Amino acid sequence: MEELIRTNDAVVLSFAESLLRDAGIVCFVADQGMSILEGSLGLLPRRLMVDGERAAAARRLLIDAGLGDELREAAP
């Protein structure tokens, strides 16, 4: 699994997740349970993860949608 986005912004996360799912790219949000535990303060970021084999396609899709600034560095 590769981390694409780490953010506290629920709107960015939801938008990215929706784009990926519409394109048929399976993704999931990690650390969602920790975020719930800390309450509604939004201090702990959540991570959007995708399968390593689909990471490049997912990155291209998110860049094309204007989320390039939100992306983490690509894994070596």
The DSSP bridge pattern shows strands 2-7 and 46-50 to be antiparallel
Q: Which domains does the chain have, with CATH numbers?
A: 2-70 (3.30.70.790)
Would you tell me how many other CB atoms lie within 10 Å of the CB of residue 3?
Answer: 16
Sign of CA dihedral 12, 49, 22, 33: negative
* pTM to 2 decimal places: 0.84
Q: What is the pLDDT of residues 2-24, one digit of tens each?
A: 999 999 898 999 999 999 999 99
Contact at 8 Å (CB) between 48 and 29? yes
**Separation CA 28–CA 13 (nearest Å):** 10
Tokens of 22: 């519409």
User: For residues 75 and 53, which has the higher predicted lDDT (pLDDT)?
Assistant: 53
* pLDDT tier at 25, thresholds 50, 70, 90: very high
User: For residues 20 and 31, which has the higher predicted lDDT (pLDDT)?
Assistant: 20
Q: Amino acid letter at 70?
A: E
